[in-house]
Amino acid sequence: MIDTPEGLDALLRRFACQDAEPSAVPRVSLAAALARGSDPLDIIAYLTGLGIAVRTLDDLLKINGDPDEEELHSFRVAEGVAISVASQGEWLLFTP
């Protein structure tokens, strides 16, 4: 049996405000962000500064293994990987 990750909308219902709209979450292709060298919330640069090399969507999940990291949390969703920035209350969805 293969576990299919939940969709972004279900994740937002569980973790975000009740009025959070999945369509309002910025979406960025990981490939495009890597080619540009930036993403809307500078997540890739932040992770690189922590020593996490981001090359794939799975690399974005590595932040969850850092016991000192309280700011970012990443979640596998059907559409890609969603990142929450706790202090800003913002979300970013990385797609393939």
pTM for this one? 0.91
First to last CA, the chain: 24
Give the distance, in angstroms, between the CA of residue 79 and the centroid of all CA atoms in the same chain.
Answer: 11
Please give the sequence-ordered ranges of beta strands (E in DSSP) within the chain, or none if there are none: 27-29, 72-77, 80-85, 90-95
Please provide residue 75's backbone torsions phi and psi, each rounded to the nearest 5 degrees. -140, 130
24-68 residue pLDDT tens:
899 999 999 999 999 999 999 999 999 999 999 999 999 999 999
- Cα–Cα dist 59/57, whole Å: 5
Percent of the chain at pLDDT > 90 equals 77
